[in-house]
Amino acid sequence: MKTKLTLAVAAAALATGAGSAQAENLTLCWAAWDPANALVELSKDFEAQSGHTMSFEFVPWTSFADRMLNELNSGGRLCDLMIGDSQWIGGGAENGHYVKLNDFFDANNISMDDFIPATVTGYAEWPKNTPNYWALPAFGDVVGWTYRRDWFERPALQAEFQETYGRPLDVPATLEELKDIAQFFQGRDIDGTTVYGAAIYTERGSEGITMGVTNALYNYGFQYGSPENPYELDGYVNSPGAVAGLEYYKELYDTATPPGSSNWYMGENIDAYRSGQVAMQMNFAFIWPGVHADPNVGGERSGYFPNPAGPEGQFAQLGGQGISVVAYSEKQDAALEYIQWFAQPEVQAKWWELGGYSALRSVLEDPGFADSQPYAQTFLDSMAIVKDFWAEPSYAELLLAMQARVHDYVIAGNGTAQEALDGLTEDWTEIFEYEGKL
């Protein structure tokens, strides 16, 4: 591996502008999805200004973690820049996969105070809540909801819903109201087609059902651990509220989702919604630009709302990623140039315009932001209520345990919610005991 430029030399090289350093071909690794296409377009400006060229390695979400974590764990040199998932930050830092960026940020006047705090904690920091940065917040994302506004506004359906539930058919304020709406639409005839209530995350193979069920668990009282000891799990992971939240998610799946939706994640939910199968879909916010532009469900036909509240508060599962310089890259100086370029406010503003979700406060707090897109306010409201999954180096083991326990109960119907969460508590405790954290 080539010796990395010192941060001071790298900063000086960046400050002299395009053309002063040897032109490099940088490879950026990320997931294969719509925002990646927007980043390709955005990066053309970097190529023109820097003299470097950009290549991209995009991998479908269902195999993204396996492919890229294998690349990092093997010390591979495919990726110079990695937009890694938020949960990878602990492993990226502790295993030496990512370059620590503190000195580089200081030398180039890049301040984490300029980014939405939740994205700094979620995408950049390790250990959490310490000023140790391993990434620049790159793509803000969060689970929210899309709904068929045109169906909700039909007078006949409004009248029937009002008579049945005693309230207007409108955006739900609580998870219970969401379930009522989903059950109201379940099996209903809309324009000669049988439709269903909601598409929710149920996929077992990667992270899907975990990224879905947490939107209920958090709001019913689930916590990852004791506030005094984050690895003290019993009574928090499997609390009575957490059990009620898991039971809620199973009931929603059993009574208000399309047949055959036992292994759905982002793509399947998008397809179901765009094809007119469901009244609502759970999905990450990245889909909203595509929904708005869709010829079948776009424009005024769709609306957007944050994950509704539960008995213990209103939270939503954080998605999104930070961009890191891979420690095994032989082109770290040029990769740092890309980070510096990407952090500029004008670049971040264009990133939003192209369909990327900037985490820069000057973009999101601009007075015109909330009205810039029909989903912009929902994005702001959602990013204000985020929680995230474990970001420990053992993230993969923790995730696999939750995927199995939750899917076996919610989808396969095995055992009880209490048994599922008791088992998960045991699984996670064993992992942390093995690591010496308990």
pLDDT tens track for 155-184: 999 999 999 999 999 999 999 999 999 999
pLDDT at 347 over 60: yes
The pLDDT, as a whole number, for residue 62 is 85
CATH of 143-317, one of 3.40.50.970, 3.30.990.10, 3.90.25.10, 3.40.190.10: 3.40.190.10
Cα 436 versus chain centre, distance = 29
Q: Where are the domains of the chain?
A: 25-141+319-387, 143-317
Q: What percent of the chain has pLDDT over 90?
A: 94
Task: Tell whether domain 25-141+319-387 is in CATH 3.40.190.10.
Answer: yes
> Mind listing the pLDDT tens digit for each residue in 124-164?
999 999 999 999 999 999 999 999 999 999 999 999 999 99
Q: Is 147 helix (H, G, I), strand (E, B) or coil?
A: strand
- pLDDT for the residue numbered 7: 40
Summarize pLDDT for 297-341 with one digit per residue, the tens: 999 999 999 999 999 999 999 999 999 999 999 999 999 999 999
Please report the pLDDT score of residue 418 as a whole number: 98
Q: What is the mean pLDDT of residues 247-274?
A: 98
CB 332, CB 340: distance < 8 Å: no
In this predicted structure, what is the pLDDT of residue 76?
A: 97
Assign residue 60 a region (left: φ > 0; alpha: ψ between -120 and 50; beta: otherwise).
Answer: beta
pLDDT of residue 21: 57
pLDDT in tens, 43-67: 999 999 999 999 999 999 889 999 9
Q: Is 142 helix (H, G, I), strand (E, B) or coil?
A: strand
- Is the pTM higher than 0.75? The answer reads yes
pLDDT over threshold 80, residue 408: yes
Burial degree of 340 (CB within 10 A; 0-12, 13-18, 19+): buried
Q: Looking at residue 328, what is its pLDDT?
A: 98
Query: Does this chain's domain 25-141+319-387 share its CATH topology with 143-317?
Result: yes
Nearest-angstrom CA–CA distance, 191 and 194 = 8
pLDDT averaged over every residue in the chain: 94
Q: How far apart are CA 262 and CA 267, in angstroms?
A: 13
Burial of residue 104 (CB within 10 Å: 0-12, 13-18, 19+) is buried
CB atoms within 10 A of CB 327: 19
Nearest to 197 by CA among 157, 167, 140: 157
Please list the helix, strand and coil fractions of the chain in percent, rounded to the nearest 5, in that order: 50, 15, 35
Average pLDDT over residues 21-39: 94
